[in-house]
Amino acid sequence: MESINEIEQIEDIEWRALKYFCYITRTQMLIEYYETGNDTKIIGFMKECCIRRIKG
């Protein structure tokens, strides 16, 4: 049973890391938007990756 608990802990850590990454990406996107009025291709791509990963 210990290995199942370890797997759940790893999945929880991965999920937290993904949410943190998405938070950073959104923050970068907003900063860039307010500074330049534009959303770059890189930030747009990162945003799409987050959406795809969250949806599964």
Structural domain of residue 27, as residue ranges?
A: 2-55
Residues in the chain: 56
CA end-to-end span of the chain, whole Å?
A: 26
pLDDT at residue 47 tops 60: yes
State how many domains the chain has. 1
pLDDT at residue 3 tops 70: yes
Quick one: pLDDT at residue 51? 76
Q: What is the pLDDT of residues 5-25, one digit of tens each?
A: 888 888 899 889 888 888 887
Quick one: pLDDT at residue 23? 84
Quick one: pLDDT at residue 2? 60
| DSSP output for 6-52 | HHHHHHHHHHHHHHHHHHHHHHHHHHHHHHHS---HHHHHHHHHHHH
Q: 0.95 exceeded by the pTM?
A: no
